[in-house]
Structures are given as C-alpha cells and as structure tokens.
Amino acid sequence: MHKLDIDLIEMTMDIMKYAINRISISQPEMGTPKNEETLKKLVGETITEKGIGGEVAFDLWKEHLMKVNVPVDHPRNLAFVPAAPTRAATMFDLVTSASSIHGAYWMEGAGGIFCENEAMKWLVSLTGLPKGAFGVFTSGGTAANLSAIVTAREYWRSQNKQNQQKRGLILTSVGAHSSVKAMAKVIDADVFLIETEDRLSGSTVQKAIDGLERQERERLFAIVATGGTTNAGIIDDLDGISTICEQENLWLHVDAAYGGGALAADSVRHLFNGIEKADSITIDPHKWLFSPYDCGAIIYKQPELAKQAHAQEGSYLDIFKDEGAHGFNPTDYQIQLTRRVRGLPLWFSLATHGTDKYKESVERGIELATIAGKLIESLPHVELVRQPSLSCVLYRRIGWEPQDYTNWTYDNHKKGFALVTPTKWKSGDAFETVSRFCFINPDTTEKDIEMILETMV
C-alpha cells in the first residue's frame, strides 16, 4: 500500500499528467450540476473492503465527478467571490502536500514557516500597520475573523476584572460578512448591527455608540469594519472609525477578506486609509491574491495579544516552547493547532512573479469592473444599480422579476457557459433582486462580459 508499489508509480505519473494538464488550461470546462442520486448511479460503490483500485477511482473522477464542479478560475465564473490561483501557486500547493510539513511549530516546520513569514511580511507591509505587527495564515476569512474576535474579547476581559463576568458585544453594519455574525455566535457574543449596507462612516458609528444603554456600552469591546463588502465592494470609513475606536478604547477589526488584495492596487489604496490604525485585519489570499484554497490570513497590530488568547498548553506540547525549539509558532496566533503551511503556495508565487505582477493583476480586476460598468450603461436592456466598487458590479435587467434572474443563472450554468448569480440590494425600503459580477480573474475578457450581458436580452 505504501511506496515502491509499481502501480503506484504509474498512478503517480497519471495524476501528475492530469495536474499538469489542468494547470495549463486557462479555460477549464465549466461543470454542470447533477444531484447526488444521479452521481451515485454513475459511480456506484467506491469505498469497499478491498478497494476499487486507483485506476478505476481516478477514471470515475475524470469521467463523472470532476465534471460536476464549477472551477472557480473559469473566466466566466463571476459569482460570489471567485478565484484565480496562479500556476506557480497551484504547483507549489502540490509541493506543499508532497512535503508533509507540520505547520504549527517552528521546530517541525521551520522551512515552510520561514517562507510563509516572508509572504506575510509583504502582506503586513500593504496594510501600513506599525512595526511589530504580524500575522499568520488561516483556513480562510471565517477562521481569521474568529481568531481576531477571540483575541479582542480576551484582551478586553484582561483589562478589567468586571469584564470577565460580562457577555461581550460587537458593533458592525449590515454590510459586514455573514461570518462576523456567525463567529460572534461561536464566542457567545451579541452583535449590534447598524442598518446600512453602504459605506459605514465614523459619525454613524459614534451615533450608534452614543445610543447604547450604559450596560450595553460596558459590554461593547470591538467594532468590525469592512474593507470591501462581499456584496458590493464597499470600503467603510476606516479612518473615521479608527479614530473613534481610539477615543472609545475599542478594538478595531477590519475584515478585508475579499477587498484586502486591493491594498496592492495604487488606484484604490487611498480608500483604505485608516486601516493602518486597526488592531487586527483579515485578508484572504485565496480570494484576490491568487492563492489556491484554502488560504486566509489574520494580522495583528500586537501579535502578543493574540498569543495570550490562543497559545495552547499541554504536556506533550511543552517541548515546542523550549529554548532549543525557539522560533515562530503559527499555532499561537489563531484557533488551529495542526495546520498545513498554506501560505507556502503564496510565497512561491510571489517569489516567482514579484509583487508588481500582483499589483497589475489586482488592478485588472478593478479595470474589468469599470469596463463592465461602461458596457452596462451603454446597453438598453440593463442598468447599473450603483457605480462599480473595487471589482464588484451590481446591475439590473430592466423589467426582470427575481425569478427571471434565478432562471437565467441556471440556464447559463446548465449550458456550461457562465456562472453569474443574483443578489439583493436595498433601494429605498425594499430589497431588490439584482445581478452581480465580481471580477478576480485577470483572464476574464471584455468579450466574456459582452457575451454574458447578451444572454440577458
């Protein structure tokens, strides 16, 4: 079953060939959906006592199972937040797997962690956070947000004995990502939601704080601002909000899971002003920094506070804290113990291409949104709901009902042509169903956008 198995060598070659082929094509087939019952009929039992053999299993994968996935890097996949890992990053993801590195402790994963940290230094430099700020790679934005709010809550509790008895309260806006609310549930904190999906301003935050009852104000420990809302690409007034957090002694977490990549883009960098005063920042390299899944990041102004919140204790772990094993231990700064060195593919890709190439590729996403906006304005059957923001474009097909958007989405998906999904936007008091593009992939063309809009005529 292990090494030296001749079949396995052949299988390795087959798999490498498949991987090379998949990495080489820029327009992979867009999978069309099938339900579980249908798939089961097609592939039958795959987990059996004796095994069905690698060749058979791999054939089933190629023939049936791969074909029902939608590749996130398809240039006409503009739904949710797609992705576009570089070939260098994807190849090094294979290397990461093959190298079997434990990424929790320096003692075991020094080489991998060194590389992760080099990439992290660049990420931190984009934020403008002061010297001493640093971060770690996580499984994604959700885990990064959780790691940050646990740190914030523990810090708040450490400041004042009375806080230890209190249930925490977080203030954010409706535009914040669902994971902020979900992670507040995990730590059993309440969330006060400011009713706006538009840019959250400092004065709105101040008003919300001033409007809290005394007991609520005493429970408030953090503000979560968004650096690029997932739905519309809106960046909150980070400068204004950070000033208030300083005055009110509140933790500022900036969730830039999607938008964080745009810190590299000179054309929009000023929109993030104030981010350098945050206490923690989430950025997802698997969204707009061309890393394969899964790769998020959490950055702290004072990593020591994260360590106080997250470092795990255990007799079998003591050796890692020993002088002889000294080094940076990523496990101490987020919720996960055993971890993949998931920042390694990003490091290799950055080293290969250089940071200028990253700048250009992110700028291209923003440019594609501008191009789409102009196209939409020039066509009679569609109109912009709001001006494009970062790489998000919200637009409506004039005269369509919600069901029309859904049918259109399914139609294009079933044809294997495109994946563009509807969303909602509040206009006045009501929520309107609209269509949304999110551009990440620099291989998406103007022609792709034109063709998609044509299917709406």
Ligand X SMILES: *Cc1c(COP(=O)(O)O)cnc(C)c1O
**Measured from the CB of residue 141, what is the shortest distance to ligand X in angstroms?**
2
Alpha helices (H) in 128-275, listed in sequence order: 141-159, 178-186, 202-210, 214-219, 238-248
Q: What track of x and - describes contact with ligand X for positions 348 through 387 (by CB under 6 A)?
A: ----------------------------------------
- Cα separations in angstroms, 366 against 132, 288, 363, 390, 455: 31, 11, 5, 5, 23
Q: Which is nearer to ligand X, 339 or 397 (CB)?
A: 339
Residue 179's CB is within 10 A of a number of other CB atoms, namely 20
The radius of gyration of the chain from alpha carbons, rounded to an integer in Å, stands at 23
Q: Interacting stretch for ligand X, rule CB under 6 A, among 253-261, 321-329, 400-408, 415-423?
A: 253-261
Side chain identity, residue 40: K
Number of residues that bind ligand X (CB under 6 A): 14
What residues are paired with 251 via a beta bridge? 222
Q: Which is nearer to ligand X, 59 or 294 (CB)?
A: 294
**Measured from the CB of residue 81, what is the shortest distance to ligand X in angstroms?**
6
Per rule CB under 6 A, is residue 257 in the interface with ligand X? yes
Q: Which is nearer to ligand X, 82 or 330 (CB)?
A: 82
Judged by CB under 6 A, the chain residues 288 through 347 that form the site for ligand X are: 296
**Measured from the CB of residue 214, what is the shortest distance to ligand X in angstroms?**
31
The C-alpha atoms of residue 402 and residue 392 are separated, in whole angstroms, by: 20
371-374's contacts with Cβ under 8 Å and 24+ in sequence apart are 371/446, 371/449, 372/437, 372/439, 372/449
Strand duo 190-194 + 280-283: pairing: unpaired
Is residue 334 helix, strand or coil?
coil
> Which one among 117, 230, 421, 435 touches ligand X, defined by CB under 6 A?
230
Q: Find, among 317, 356, 328, 272, the residue nearest to 137 by Cα.
A: 328
**Measured from the CB of residue 333, what is the shortest distance to ligand X in angstroms?**
17
Q: Which is nearer to ligand X, 145 or 331 (CB)?
A: 145
Q: What track of x and - describes contact with ligand X for positions 267 through 296 (by CB under 6 A)?
A: -----------------x-----------x
Encoded tokens for 13 = 């070659």
> Which one among 117, 226, 412, 435 touches ligand X, defined by CB under 6 A?
226
Judged by CB under 6 A, the chain residues 121 through 180 that form the site for ligand X are: 140-142, 145, 177, 179
Q: Interacting stretch for ligand X, rule CB under 6 A, among 15-23, 255-263, 415-423, 438-446?
A: 255-263
The C-alpha atoms of residue 382 and residue 414 are separated, in whole angstroms, by: 23
Q: Which is nearer to ligand X, 145 or 204 (CB)?
A: 145
Q: Which is nearer to ligand X, 230 or 444 (CB)?
A: 230
- Distance between the two ends of the chain, CA-based, in angstroms? 57
Q: Interacting stretch for ligand X, rule CB under 6 A, among 62-70, 115-123, 252-260, 440-448?
A: 252-260
Cβ burial, residue 136 (10 Å; 0-12/13-18/19+) = buried
The C-alpha atoms of residue 299 and residue 247 are separated, in whole angstroms, by: 22
Q: Which is nearer to ligand X, 72 or 245 (CB)?
A: 72
User: 3-state DSSP helix/strand/coil percent for the chain, to nearest 5?
Assistant: 50, 15, 35
Q: Which is nearer to ligand X, 93 or 255 (CB)?
A: 255
Judged by CB under 6 A, the chain residues 77 through 96 that form the site for ligand X are: 81
β-sheet with 382-384: strand ranges across: 382-384, 392-397, 430-438, 422-427
**Measured from the CB of residue 55, what is the shortest distance to ligand X in angstroms?**
35
**Measured from the CB of residue 230, what is the shortest distance to ligand X in angstroms?**
4
> Which one among 155, 251, 258, 320 touches ligand X, defined by CB under 6 A?
258
Judged by CB under 6 A, the chain residues 97 through 116 that form the site for ligand X are: none
The C-alpha atoms of residue 352 and residue 358 are separated, in whole angstroms, by: 11
Per rule CB under 6 A, is residue 199 in the interface with ligand X? no
Q: Which is nearer to ligand X, 82 or 456 (CB)?
A: 82
The C-alpha atoms of residue 396 and residue 29 are separated, in whole angstroms, by: 28
**Measured from the CB of residue 203, what is the shortest distance to ligand X in angstroms?**
23
Q: Which is nearer to ligand X, 77 or 145 (CB)?
A: 145
Helices and strands (H and E) in the chain: how many? 17, 11
By CB under 6 A, name the binding residues for ligand X: 81, 140-142, 145, 177, 179, 226, 230, 255, 257-258, 284, 296
